[in-house]
């Protein structure tokens, strides 16, 4: 019988792997990017505006999805990525390469995934194989190398969400975890619905088992207050940001895009429960496009099924349901996914189903938990298939332009 490798390693060894994984990921992402900075550099433009004391652009940029309001032009997604890149834009201005910054954050995400796997599995092989799965065997590879406005939001949000997860797994104070979750929210709004994961993981601090038969006397409010305070900072920041822009604390920018409600996929508004089936059709039933000429099969900009792009996610089903990590993960995945499924569109143009990036960190945790401490041949086979599929997608899209609806 093969001897099982169980090893977490010293802090120095962990730092070595963290940096090595980052460097390898950066190299792969860099050389597989399209080769030119994204023209959809909304956050570079917003960051430049902030440096000039504005929250808006002074002129319309026709190819960007922006909101005209009172003679000013506003960026649609939440603004935290623009604040994060302020130092770079202060030096480089509008020539800042947003794609390159996206590659930086994407490479960091792979290293953070390694740390998350290290917290859940004692096996160095499991840690490295699952980190490779996230970095190269999921649509994160394409998302990070695309670098456009929406994909950049996904990449940065994943960085912040992994940070919140790691703070939880390594028993940080709830305030800092809440702040990281709130920062993710100010990048991709649906991620705030992953709060159940953090409530579940901190349950030992805020819920006392046994003792008083009265339920409310078992609850310690202090950890919950600190968790809520951390996230609440960014909720208030978002409310203030929108009040300064539109005179309302609510994020209405998407609704103000000219003509958006006239588009055929928004017949019942931007969000509606009846849109769920069309999203499910893509995430579970989206296939590549088969054509009659070379290269005969191409990725579909319409989206592709999650079981095609990352077949190893099947091991999430083996994470169990009687542990607080699995319970928190599954509830969070369900809530975040449902919110995205209610959107009138399904994220096109895209490789895979990009909305799923909002819950991929939790699906990743479940997959690591399901694999456990013993990486077997079938784990490696499915992870390898996912890597090959995503390599095919990234090269076909970024290098050859072979993609179709």
Secondary structure (DSSP) of 301-338 = TT---HHHH-GGGGGGGGS-SSSHHHHHHHHHHHHHHH
Q: pLDDT band for 322, please (50, 70, 90 cuts).
A: confident
Q: Kindly tell me if the per-residue pLDDT of 216 is higher than 70.
A: no
Res 217: pLDDT: 72
Structure tokens at 359: 């819950």
Instruction: Give the angle subtended at the CA of 304 by the CAs of 152 and 112, to the nearest 5°.
Output: 40
More confident residue, 197 or 292: 197
At 142-157, the pLDDT tens digits run: 999 999 999 999 999 9
Res 254: pLDDT: 92
Res 211: pLDDT: 66
Mean pLDDT in residue range 379-401: 97
- Cα–Cα dist 245/56, whole Å: 8
- Cα–Cα dist 385/187, whole Å: 31
Nearest by Cα to 96 from 104, 109, 85, 107:
85
Mean pLDDT in residue range 307-336: 97
Global pTM reads 0.95
Q: Kindly tell me if the per-residue pLDDT of 86 is higher than 60.
A: yes
Res 299: pLDDT: 95
- Cα–Cα dist 95/108, whole Å: 23
Q: Kindly tell me if the per-residue pLDDT of 7 is higher than 80.
A: no
């Amino acid at each position: 019988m093969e001897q099982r490798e169980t090893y977490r390693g010293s802090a120095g060894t962990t730092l070595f792997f963290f940096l090595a994984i980052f460097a390898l990921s950066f190299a792969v992402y860099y050389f597989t990017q399209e080769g030119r900075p994204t023209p959809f550099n909304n956050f570079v433009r917003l960051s430049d505006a902030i440096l000039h004391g504005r929250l808006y652009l002074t002129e319309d940029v026709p190819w960007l999805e922006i909101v005209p309001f009172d003679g000013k032009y506003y960026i649609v997604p939440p603004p935290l990525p623009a604040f994060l890149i302020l130092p770079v834009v202060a030096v480089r201005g509008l020539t800042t390469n947003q794609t390159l910054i996206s590659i930086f954050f994407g490479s960091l995400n792979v290293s953070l995934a390694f740390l998350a796997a290290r917290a859940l599995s004692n096996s160095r092989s499991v840690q490295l194989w699952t980190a490779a799965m996230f970095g190269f065997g999921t649509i994160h590879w394409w998302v990070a190398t695309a670098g456009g406005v929406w994909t950049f939001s996904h990449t940065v949000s994943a960085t912040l969400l992994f940070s919140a997860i790691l703070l939880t797994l390594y028993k940080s104070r709830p305030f800092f975890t809440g702040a990281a979750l709130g920062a993710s929210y100010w990048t991709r709004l649906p991620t705030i619905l992953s709060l159940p994961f953090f409530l579940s993981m901190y349950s030992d601090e805020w819920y006392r088992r046994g003792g008083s038969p009265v339920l409310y006397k078992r609850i310690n409010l202090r950890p919950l207050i600190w968790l809520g305070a951390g996230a609440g900072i960014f909720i208030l920041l978002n409310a203030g940001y929108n009040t300064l822009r539109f005179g309302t604390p609510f994020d209405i920018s998407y609704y103000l895009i000219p003509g958006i409600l006239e588009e055929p996929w928004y017949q019942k508004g931007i969000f509606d429960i009846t849109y769920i089936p069309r999203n499910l059709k893509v995430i579970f039933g989206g296939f590549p496009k088969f054509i009659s000429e070379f290269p005969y099969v191409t990725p579909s900009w319409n989206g592709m099924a999650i079981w095609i792009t990352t077949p190893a996610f099947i091991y999430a089903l083996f994470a169990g349901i009687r542990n607080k990590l699995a319970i928190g993960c599954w509830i969070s995945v369900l809530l975040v996914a449902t919110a995205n499924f209610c959107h009138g569109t399904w994220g096109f143009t895209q490789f895979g189903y990009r909305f799923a990036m909002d819950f991929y960190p939790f699906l990743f945790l479940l997959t690591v938990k399901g694999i456990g401490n013993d990486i077997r041949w079938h784990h490696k086979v499915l992870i390898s298939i996912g890597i090959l599929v995503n390599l095919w997608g990234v090269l076909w899209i970024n290098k050859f332009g072979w993609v179709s609806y």
